[in-house]
């Protein structure tokens, strides 16, 4: 079979003449692959072959109707190779157009014709020959390829590989190399240099406009690059059909606008512009692409106002057709789970545009911190935990990064609903948790789901999370958090005092070195609120109050003076990790109810009563409805053993060092409470301190042993020194905060709140003024009140309780004596016609019997202590009250009798004690016939003094008709006798002895409230208008000197000569004589059960050392009151000083008389 | 077109039938699960089983598996020995079975339990220093509900010697203490 070679159709069977192929011949050559081949023949003998190929490809493609590979009547109009070349050329042009997005990967290398050829010529022979060859071709083909206008070529390098070059014939031409390494996306889903060849009219609109505009503005290009110009014309014609609007837009492009619409393109050096045929190429303006992204559906629908470009929110496997940049989202685009680049430096995935976008790791933490208890869902947002597997016994800190709150507020998460973010946590197998955070985007109703699965960490080491692979790690930490108060007013004009307790109970395992730091943020600004009590400036952390080394947990207290909406809890101990806590603040309304509080700051106990509006006074309480603290753990759902973690410190330390959830009613803790302050064992009082941080009111005192609090008692009469001043301030601040939050939690009117407080009449002016100043300051600070607190003598109020509860039979016309026996002081007021007419106060109260006399630490020698401590230790042990034994132990360590005795008295009301009678110290003392004489003597001394007072100071007044008692010390009455009538008769005898006349038919009535003696003062204060009680007591205050010369009503220390002191002790001896005479009139033994042997000892020792006791008393008082000048007036009677000494001494002897168990 | 519709219709029918079968299976499995859970609740062997003579388990991180009920009739009854640890008891004198840990956990474990027979275990205060420390830190919570002391409480005790093991019975999900442990504080 013969073969005809050539395509001129002139050949036969032999040699024939032939000419060079014209276009006609070339076109007539049949492509054996029918145009489907994609590789080009390399046999083109020119260094500029690719320029020609590109030009030819344009020429061929222009023949096709759709500018794609096509055949016509069996002839290939344009093959796939043409389509590819044109497409690749356009890809190059598009890359250059978007060069700002490719800055890191794209490099433009300048090849200056004259300079480079010149250099080659000056180089080796080989280079010279190459230069000459190039020159030859440049000269020879100058008309075909516009080499005459060629000055420079710009070689394009992508990822360090050449991908193409500018062309004087077709703007660009690609290399024949494999370009798969440059298969990237720009702003649309089209992948450059792939096998999907895209004609210009299908490309991104901005790019299309640019190319058309380039040729429109530069006619030289159209004349010199005819194939390209034709290509553009054909594109335009197709656009006319397919996208007429764009067609019109392009048609209307004005040449003059070209420079305005696009930015200058340089080679990388400023001013070194990239040109083809002398025409500068340009590139997309940055603002244009930003404007384009500004329409993206993926923009975050933030609730906060953002500055700068709005980031897009992207997720993998998103398959909705939403607008991304210039095209719909391609679900094949891979979004990194973590992008280390700063937000503004990021490039959009699949788009090669530098623009901020957010991905999973921007909002979700690498670690998920699981807690050992369920979160209190009523008070904190729990993250919508769904227990698909496992249970809901353990909650989680929200694994949200702070950055989330740059865009959204905590309320967005709490409120939920359309257009708001939401979070969901689903527990899976083997402790894994899947967290889904939905972020709303601008497309209405749409959101992006950031989802991350957290896997359980290894037990003995912390597993490292893999953020890039979206694998988080679940770790379990034993940390508790409690807020105080659980109130947020949003009122800028009132103070916002907050305390946050952090309990770190990671005592073992991988987190034993945990170190928590909390940051607080409000809804508006996502910057931390400064904390008030930073340990060191800038540290952002307060000092630790208790440490794991010494206890079962470490505690810290954050003090803030601004409201906050979320907390970022960070553990910087072993591995940096954190989570978010969002309180669900209760709805607050500023109501109108006026609250009135009465505060009785006693030596032993402190009490608060309150009334809301016109309601009856009641003891201060915190109920389930108005809880003031919010513990992160759910106190109801958390198991007693904290899931077997041993972390019960998380619950216990709330009571120990902070504040109980509830107070009063049937709760373990209530008012009246012991007047003691708790503080950390290593508190440095030289540093700034805060209430409910460095100090607290330990309601647990005497009830449970905490082992962490350093307890300070005797606050009321404590020596004036900086430490005590701080303690007392903190004590009052806590009390006022309790009141304030009571008002706020119950819709009260803060500024209209009223406060009545009490002070003993015997308090020195200086001490009283100091207390008043403190209360007024705190009141003003926390209540912003329109009125000031009423400071009232505590002796006045109880009378009004008895009066207003109808307990004064026969009215109040006759004198009524009100005696308030506290721990440290007793106040006596004589009322007539409901008005106080005489007042006296003295430091002779319960502690005269139960205290250490004139010694600061005398518990080791106190008779009652010696007699009863061992007894109670055995009793507690026998009843397995180990914790109370620990309490007693710790109190004993302080060696203060009154504290030990107060504990013994408190036992019968302790919630742990079931048989109150067995533990009742009151009942035991009532049966102690050896000690009975002491109580009787104590009582007699007071009644005697009252009688003497009345006789001396109110000579015209008749005998009293009623004596009413109040104060904790009045419990002594029930120790003396349970028969009130007996006590009345006995009291009448004393009055009769002093007044030297009988009561006649009118019986003296003794009244005492055995169960609420302490509460009477507050109740009385609230039962009458406080203004009525605001009496200047100085006018009715009297002191009985005990001197025969009744004209001497005041004594100074300097006046206490030997004679004066002797006269005072004689006066006491007179009383003693009178007292012992009473036994003859009303047998102590028969009526009160006083033992004979005790009476003998008593009689024998009663009058001994009276002079010494007086001196001791004076010395002690001077020391306690810091009297520095003997010119100072003595503010109380000296009658009781020798009696205190005698009681203390006799008590020791009586204690040894009969062993307690016999 | 009609042919296409028919084919789609039959596919839907097939899938519906498959869904029904699967729902039935799920229902049966749920029923089985409930039965097993009921057995678990009343099971005599709540923890993993170690045969007599085996060394007690060291630290394991695996969570406690549901009790294994071995009801093979032919098998000779054997004395079951299991050790597990519990923390704070409930104030009513019981322990939560769900809190049991097959291995000692510092800072959490206080009591060491040993199964003696069905539903019954003896227990004592674990001797690790951390266990004693934790017990003493909150004696009212950690000791009182399940122990009686034979000497006076000593907050500074270094050891708590269990004179006589306590006995607990598994009732539902709680180990109810029927006999308190007798302990002695030792310094």
* Subunit contact B149:A885, Cβ cutoff 8 A: no
Choose between B6 and A31: higher pLDDT.
Answer: A31
User: What does the CA dihedral A672, A675, A677, A678 come to, rounded to 10 degrees?
Assistant: -50
Phi, psi of A346 (to 5 degrees): -80, 155
In this complex, is the C-beta atom of B104 within 8 Å of any C-beta atom belonging to chain A?
Answer: no
Nearest CA to B117 out of B48, B43, B44 is that of B44
Residue A559 to residues A531, A542, A543, A710, B138, Cα–Cα distance (Å):
6, 8, 11, 21, 28
Interface residue B82 vs chain A (CB under 8 A): no
A442 token code pair: 């601008």
pTM metric for this prediction: 0.79
Q: Would you call B138 an interface residue with chain A, using a CB distance cutoff of 8 Å?
A: yes
Contact A643 B99 (CB under 8 A): yes
CA A280 to chain B, closest CA, distance in angstroms equals 59
Residues of B whose CB is below 8 A from A550 = none
Mean pLDDT for B50-67 is 37
The residues, any chain, with a CB within 8 Å of residue A631's CB and separated by 6 or more, are A376, A379, A480, A481, A482, A651, A654, A661
The CA distance from A242 to A237, in Å, is 9
Predicted pLDDT at A1154: 86
Distance of CA A993 to the CA centre of its chain: 67
What does the alpha-carbon distance between residue A203 and residue A71 come to, in Å, rounded to a whole number? 23
Q: Which residues of chain A are modeled with pLDDT < 50?
A: 1-2, 1158
Distances from the Cα of A300 to the Cαs of A435, A442, A467, A538, in angstroms? 19, 6, 22, 34
If you measure CA to CA, which chain A residue comes closest to B143?
A: A882
DSSP state for residue A953 in the 8-state scheme: H
Angstroms from A434 CA to nearest CA on chain B = 19
Asked whether A514 and A574 are in contact (CB, 8 A), the reply is: yes
Triad A39, A41, A45: Cα angle to 5°: 145
What ipTM goes with this model? 0.76
**For the segment B135-186, what is each residue's pLDDT rounded down to a tens digit?**
999 998 999 999 998 888 887 889 999 999 999 999 999 999 999 999 999 9
**Cα A306 to Cα A304: distance, rounded to the nearest angstrom:** 6
Q: Which residues of A touch B63 (CB under 8 A)?
A: 431
Residue-wise pLDDT tens digits, A812-864: 678 999 999 988 889 999 998 888 999 998 989 999 999 888 876 666 678 88
Judging contacts by C-beta atoms under 8 Å, the chain B residues touching residue A393 are 98
Tell me the β-bridge partners of A418.
none
Q: Looking at residue B59, what is its pLDDT?
A: 36
Please judge whether A646 and B61 are an interchain contact, meaning their C-beta atoms are less than 8 angstroms apart: no
CA–CA separation, A296 vs A323, rounded Å? 5
Q: Rounded to a whole number, what is the distance in Å from the CA of A915 to chain B's nearest CA? A: 17
Q: How many residues does chain A have?
A: 1158
Q: In chain A, which residues have their Cβ closer than 8 Å to the Cβ of B101?
A: 644
Over residues A40-98, the pLDDT tens digits come to 555 566 678 889 999 999 999 999 999 999 988 878 889 999 999 999 999 999 999 98
User: Of B82, B86, B84, B85, which is closest to residue B54 (Cα–Cα)?
Assistant: B82
User: What residues in A contact B175, CB-CB < 8 Å?
Assistant: none
User: In the 8-state DSSP scheme, what is residue A656?
Assistant: I
3-state secondary structure A979-996: CHHHHHHHHHHHHHHHHC
- Token couple for A748: 């009260």
User: Looking at chain B, which residue has its C-alpha nearest residue A878?
Assistant: B152
Q: Give chain B positions within 8 Å (CB) of A883.
A: 138-140, 144
In DSSP notation, A815-860 reads -EEEEEE-SS-EEEEEEETTEEEEEEEES-SHHHHHS-TT-SS-TT
Residue B106 distance to chain A (closest CA, Å): 6
**Interface touch A458/B61, C-beta < 8 Å:** yes
Parallel/antiparallel/unpaired status of strands B82-86 and A516-521:
unpaired
Nearest CA distance, A330 vs chain B (angstrom): 29
How much is the pLDDT for B32? 65
Please state, as a whole number, how many other Cβ atoms lie within 10 Å of the Cβ of residue B79: 9
Could you say which DSSP state residue A951 is in?
H
Find which of B33, B59, B63, B108 to mutate to test the A interface (most A CBs within 10 Å of its CB). Answer: B108
The half-sphere exposure of A136 on its side-chain side, counting CA atoms within 13 A, is 9
| Residues belonging to chain A with any Cβ–Cβ distance to chain B shorter than 8 Å | 393, 431, 458-460, 507-509, 551-552, 639-649, 652, 704-705, 707, 873, 877, 880, 882-883, 885-886, 889, 912
Q: How many CB pairs under 8 A join A and B?
A: 101
Contacts of B125 in chain A (CB under 8 A): none
Closest CA to A481 of A386, A384, A398, A364: A398
Please indicate whether, in this complex, the C-beta atoms of A508 and B105 are within 8 angstroms of each other: yes
Q: Inspect the interface and report whether the beta carbons of A641 and B87 lie closer than 8 Å.
A: yes
Q: Tell me whether residues B130 and A640 touch, CB distance under 8 A.
A: no
Closest Cα of chain A to B117: distance in Å?
Answer: 23
Instruction: Please give the pLDDT value at position A160.
Output: 93
d(CA B33, CA B26): 10
pLDDT of residue A107: 94
Considering only CB atoms, A552 lies closest to which of B134, B144, B148, namely: B134
Buried b (16+ CB within 10 A) or exposed e, B140-163: bbbbbbbbebeeebbbebeebbbe
pLDDT for position A11: 60
Q: Is B33 on the interface with A (CB under 8 A)?
A: no
Is residue A907 within 8 A of residue A963, CB to CB? The reply is no
- Residue A164, CA atoms < 13 Å, CB-side half-sphere: 28
Give the separation between CA A64 and CA A303, rounded to whole angstroms: 52
The reported pLDDT for the residue numbered A1003 is 85
Kindly report the nearest CA distance between residue A457 and chain B, in angstroms: 10
B169–chain A Cβ distance below 8 A for any pair: no
**According to the 3-state scheme, what is the secondary structure of B26-85?**
HHHHHHHHHHHHHHHHCCCCCCCCECCCCCCCCCCCCCCCCCCCCCCCCCCCCCCEEEEE
Angle, CA of A1073, A1079 and A1085, to the nearest 5°: 140
Contact (CB, 8 A) for A238 and A277:
no
* Distance from C-alpha of A965 to C-alpha of A967, rounded to nearest angstrom: 7
Cα nearest neighbour of B92 on chain A: A640
CA distance to partner chain A, nearest, from residue B103 (Å): 12
Distance CA A827, CA A761 (A): 7
State the nearest Cα–Cα gap between A507 and chain B, in angstroms. 6
């Amino acid at each position: 079979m013969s073969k005809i070679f050539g395509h001129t159709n002139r050949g036969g069977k032999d040699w024939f003449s032939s000419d060079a192929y014209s276009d006609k011949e070339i076109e007539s050559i049949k492509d054996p692959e029918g145009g489907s081949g994609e590789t080009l023949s390399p046999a083109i003998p020119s260094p500029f072959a690719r320029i020609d190929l590109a030009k030819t490809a344009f020429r061929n493609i222009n023949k096709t109707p759709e500018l794609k590979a096509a055949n016509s009547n069996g002839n290939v109009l344009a093959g796939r190779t043409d389509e590819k070349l044109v497409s690749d050329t356009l890809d190059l042009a598009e890359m250059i157009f978007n060069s700002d997005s490719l800055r890191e990967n794209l490099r433009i290398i300048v090849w200056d014709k004259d300079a480079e050829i010149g250099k080659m010529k000056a180089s080796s022979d080989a280079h010279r020959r190459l230069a000459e060859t190039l020159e030859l071709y440049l000269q020879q083909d100058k008309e075909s390829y516009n080499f005459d206008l060629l000055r420079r070529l710009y070689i394009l390098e992508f990822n360090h590989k050449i991908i193409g070059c500018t062309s004087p014939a077709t703007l660009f031409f690609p290399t024949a190399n494999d370009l798969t390494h440059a298969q990237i996306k720009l702003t649309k889903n089209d992948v450059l240099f792939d096998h999907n060849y895209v004609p210009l009219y299908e490309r991104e609109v901005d790019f299309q406009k640019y190319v058309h505009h380039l040729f429109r503005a530069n006619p030289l290009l159209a004349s010199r690059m005819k194939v390209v110009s034709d290509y553009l014309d054909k594109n335009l014609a197709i656009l006319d059909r397919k996208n007429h609007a764009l067609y019109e837009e392009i048609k209307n492009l004005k040449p003059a606008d070209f420079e305005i619409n696009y930015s200058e393109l340089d080679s990388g050096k400023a001013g070194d512009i990239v040109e083809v045929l002398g025409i500068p190429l340009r590139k997309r303006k940055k603002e244009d692409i930003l404007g384009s992204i500004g329409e993206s559906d993926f923009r975050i629908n933030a609730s906060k106002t953002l500055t700068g470009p709005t980031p897009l929110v992207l997720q993998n496997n998103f398959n909705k057709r939403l607008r991304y940049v210039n095209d719909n989202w391609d679900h094949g685009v891979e979004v990194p789970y973590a992008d280390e680049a700063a937000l503004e430096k990021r490039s959009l995935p699949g788009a090669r545009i530098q623009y901020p976008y957010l991905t999973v790791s921007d909002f979700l933490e690498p670690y998920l911190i699981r807690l050992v208890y369920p979160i209190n869902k009523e008070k904190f947002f729990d993250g919508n935990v769904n227990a698909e597997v496992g249970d809901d016994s353990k909650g989680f800190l929200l694994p949200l990064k702070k950055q989330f709150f740059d865009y959204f507020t905590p309320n967005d998460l709490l409120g939920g609903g359309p257009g708001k973010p939401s979070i969901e946590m689903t527990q899976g197998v083997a402790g894994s948790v899947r967290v889904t955070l939905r972020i709303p985007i601008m497309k209405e109703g749409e959101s992006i789901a950031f989802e991350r699965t957290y896997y359980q960490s290894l037990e003995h080491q912390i597993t490292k999370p893999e953020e890039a692979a979206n694998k988080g790690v679940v770790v379990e930490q034993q940390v508790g958090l409690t807020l105080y108060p659980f109130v947020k007013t949003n009122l800028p004009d009132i103070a916002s005092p907050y305390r946050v307790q952090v309990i770190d109970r990671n005592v073992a395992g991988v987190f034993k070195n945990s170190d928590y730091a909390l940051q607080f943020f409000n809804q508006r600004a996502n910057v931390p609120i400064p904390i008030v009590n930073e340990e060191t400036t800038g540290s952002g952390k307060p000092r630790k109050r208790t440490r794991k080394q010494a206890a079962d947990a470490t505690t810290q207290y954050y003090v803030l003076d601004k409201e906050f909406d979320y907390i970022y809890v960070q553990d910087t101990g072993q591995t940096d990790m954190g989570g978010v806590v969002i309180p669900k603040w209760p709805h607050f309304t500023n109501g109108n109810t006026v609250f009135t509080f009465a505060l009785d700051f006693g030596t032993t106990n402190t009490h608060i009563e309150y009334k809301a509006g016109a309601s009856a006074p009641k003891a201060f309480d915190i109920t389930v409805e108005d809880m003031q603290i919010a513990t992160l753990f759910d106190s109801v759902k958390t198991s007693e053993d904290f899931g077997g973690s041993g972390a019960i410190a998380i619950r216990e330390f709330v009571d120990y060092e902070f504040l109980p959830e509830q107070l009063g009613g049937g709760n373990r803790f209530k008012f009246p409470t012991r007047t003691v302050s708790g503080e950390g064992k290593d508190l440095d009082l030289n540093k700034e301190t805060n209430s409910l941080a460095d100090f607290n009111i330990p309601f647990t005192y005497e009830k449970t042993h905490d082992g962490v609090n350093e307890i300070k008692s005797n606050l009321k009469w404590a020596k004036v020194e900086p430490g005590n001043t701080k303690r007392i301030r903190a004590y009052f601040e806590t009390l006022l905060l309790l009141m304030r939050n009571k008002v706020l939690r119950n819709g009260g009117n803060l500024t209209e709140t009223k406060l009545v407080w009490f002070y003993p009449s015997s308090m020195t002016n200086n001490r009283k003024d100091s207390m008043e100043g403190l209360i007024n300051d705190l009141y003003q600070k926390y209540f912003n009140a329109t009125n000031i607190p009423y400071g009232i003598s505590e002796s006045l109020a109880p009378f009004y309780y008895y009066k207003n509860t109808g307990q004064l039979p026969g009215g109040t016309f006759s004198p009524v004596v009100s005696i308030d026996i506290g721990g440290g002081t007793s106040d006596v007021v004589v009322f007539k016609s409901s008005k106080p007419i005489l007042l006296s106060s003295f430091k002779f109260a319960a502690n005269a019997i139960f205290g250490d006399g004139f010694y600061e630490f005398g518990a080791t020698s106190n008779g009652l202590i010696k007699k009863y401590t061992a007894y109670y230790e055995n009793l507690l042990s026998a009843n397995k009250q180990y914790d109370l034994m620990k309490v007693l132990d710790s109190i004993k360590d302080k060696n203060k009798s009154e504290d030990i005795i107060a504990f013994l008295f408190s036992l019968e009301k302790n919630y742990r004690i079931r048989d109150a009678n067995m533990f009742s110290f009151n009942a035991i003392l009532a049966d102690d016939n050896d000690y009975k004489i002491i109580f009787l003597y104590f009582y007699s001394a007071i009644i005697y003094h009252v009688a003497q007072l009345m006789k001396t100071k109110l000579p015209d007044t008749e005998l009293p008709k009623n004596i009413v008692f109040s104060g904790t010390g009045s419990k002594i009455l029930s120790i003396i006798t349970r028969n009130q009538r007996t006590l009345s008769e006995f009291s009448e005898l004393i009055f009769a002895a002093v007044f030297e006349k009988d009561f006649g038919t009118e019986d003296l009535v003794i009244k005492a409230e055995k169960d609420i003696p302490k509460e009477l003062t507050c109740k009385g204060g609230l039962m009458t208008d406080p203004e009525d009680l605001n009496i200047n007591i100085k006018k009715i205050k009297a002191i009985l000197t005990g001197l025969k010369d009744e004209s001497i009503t005041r004594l100074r220390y300097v006046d206490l000569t030997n004679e004066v002191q002797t006269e005072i002790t004689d006066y006491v001896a007179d009383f003693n004589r009178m007292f012992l005479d009473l036994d003859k009139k009303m047998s102590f033994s028969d009526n009160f059960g006083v033992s004979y042997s005790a009476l003998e000892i008593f009689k024998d020792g009663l009058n001994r050392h009276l002079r010494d006791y007086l001196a001791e008393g004076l010395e002690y008082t001077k020391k306690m009151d810091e009297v520095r000048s003997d010119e100072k007036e003595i503010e109380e009677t000296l009658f009781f000083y020798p009696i205190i000494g005698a009681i203390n001494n006799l008590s020791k002897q009586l204690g040894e008389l009969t062993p307690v168990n016999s | 077109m009609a042919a296409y519709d028919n084919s789609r219709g039959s596919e839907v029918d097939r899938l519906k039938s498959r869904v029904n079968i699967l729902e039935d299976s799920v229902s049966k499995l749920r029923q089985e699960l409930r039965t097993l859970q009921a057995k678990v609740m009343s099971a005599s062997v709540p923890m993993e089983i170690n045969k007599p003579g085996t060394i007690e388990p060291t630290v394991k991180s695996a969570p406690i598996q549901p009790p294994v009920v071995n009801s093979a009739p032919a098998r000779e009854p054997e004395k079951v020995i299991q050790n597990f640890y519990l923390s704070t008891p409930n104030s009513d004198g019981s322990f939560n079975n769900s809190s049991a840990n097959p291995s000692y956990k510092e800072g959490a474990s206080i009591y060491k339990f040993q199964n003696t027979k069905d539903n019954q275990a003896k227990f004592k205060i674990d001797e690790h220093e951390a266990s004693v420390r934790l017990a003493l830190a909150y004696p009212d919570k950690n000791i009182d509900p399940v122990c009686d002391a034979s000497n006076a409480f000593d907050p500074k005790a270094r050891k708590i010697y269990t004179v006589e093991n306590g006995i607990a019975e598994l009732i539902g999900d709680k180990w109810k203490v029927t006999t308190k442990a007798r302990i002695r504080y030792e310094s």
